[in-house]
Amino acid sequence: MKTYKQLTYELRCQIYALNKIGMSQNKIAQQLKISQSTISRELNRNTGKRGYRIKQAQSFADNRRLLSRKAIKMTSSLVALIDSKIQIEWSPEQVSGWLREDHNILISHEAIYLYIWSNKKRGGQLFQNLRRKGKAYQSRSKDKQAGRGFIRNRVSIDERPAVVDDKNRIGDWEIDLVIGKGHSGALVTIVERKTSFTVSMRVDDKSARSVTAATIALLQPFKDAVLTITADNGKEFAYHEVMTEHLSCGVYFADPYCSWQRGLNENTNGLLRQYWPKSTDFKKVSQSEVEDVIVRLNERPRKKLNYKTPANLMAEHLVAIAA
């Protein structure tokens, strides 16, 4: 049985009055003889910064209805905009968010995917710029090695400040390595949890000495924005106390077999694998090449950041804490 109904201006007047006196959503629904989900949807969609107001709610609803009737046509100019961003490895979601925020064009990421697959059928190569290129997802195994050796004075993630879990502040980083073919070189990757801002450096080996030196060099320019670092249990992070001394931050170690505790870093490494698959010999990759890719990642708008970029968010934070 269908319970949802379009609300009229008169019904919105009644919802406003009843909500103003503190009546619960359930009681408002009973009194107006409409479903509670309709009331909840109305308040969630049409409440502004100054609360739920009648004229504003009606305006929001009218605008959505008007926009929903507009079919987006794949004009040559729109196709050019989409192509330009897909070609620099933006995801369809990122393109969709950018078009909405910067060009006031409403087109879903699903529609962009359909366009890319249509392009592929015509012999186009846009799909090659997607992260997975249409491949089936393969889940990570929990049977991989973890806890690969004793780390002196290791500090467990259980002792990490609880505020880190909330991602409400800037300054909490996750660190890992991207290993090359035959363990020939590696990338040290460090990503900030709230902004997704990433830094990376190529190293010839994954010794604790090399990884520690790279970590300090990468984070020193952002020292005022480094509060904690979370690592896995690899021996390459054995010199964590040196990191703490140079960067004035706490270094914490995730639990074995719990890669989700550093989920953002795992995801970022997956993005980097788009450029450097597991067959890559990182000793043949220059640091300038690494920096070019990191700039690309940091200048991509992210859905979870309301389509702002990690680079802009970190820059704004550094300016704010320096003031």
Per-residue pLDDT tens over the stretch 270-281:
999 999 998 999
Residue 298 has pLDDT above 60, yes or no: yes
Residue 142 has pLDDT above 50, yes or no: no
Q: Kindly give the pairing relationship between strand 186-192 and strand 198-203.
A: antiparallel
At 149, the pLDDT band (50, 70, 90 cuts) reads low
At 1, the pLDDT band (50, 70, 90 cuts) reads very low
Instruction: State pLDDT tens for residues 231-268.
Output: 999 999 999 999 999 999 999 999 887 888 899 999 99
Q: Cα separation of 132 and 91, whole Å?
A: 10
**Adjacency order of strands within the sheet including 186-192:** 198-203, 186-192, 172-179, 228-231, 250-253
pLDDT at 258: 83
- For residue 283, the one-letter residue type is K
At 307, the pLDDT band (50, 70, 90 cuts) reads very high
Residue 164 has pLDDT above 70, yes or no: yes
Share of the chain above pLDDT 90, in %: 56
Concatenate the DSSP letters of all residues of 143-184 into one string: TS----S--TT--BGGGS-THHHHT-SS-EEEEEEEE-GGG-
Residue 199 has pLDDT above 90, yes or no: yes
pLDDT at 146: 38
pTM above 0.85, yes or no: no
At 225, the pLDDT band (50, 70, 90 cuts) reads very high
Instruction: State pLDDT tens for residues 79-107.
Output: 999 999 999 999 999 999 999 889 888 88
Which residues are bridge partners to 308 per DSSP? 302
- Contact, 279 vs 254, CB < 8 A? no
At 55, the pLDDT band (50, 70, 90 cuts) reads confident
Share of the chain above pLDDT 70, in %: 90
Q: Residues for the chain: how many in total?
A: 323
At 66, the pLDDT band (50, 70, 90 cuts) reads low
Compute the average pLDDT of residues 163-173: 94
Compute the average pLDDT of residues 137-163: 67
pLDDT at 10: 85
Q: What would you report as the CA-atom Rg of the chain, rounded to the nearest whole angstrom?
A: 25
Q: List, in order, residues 6 or more apart from 34 with CB less than 8 Å away.
A: 3, 5, 7, 11
Q: Cα separation of 316 and 162, whole Å?
A: 25
Residue 145 has pLDDT above 70, yes or no: no
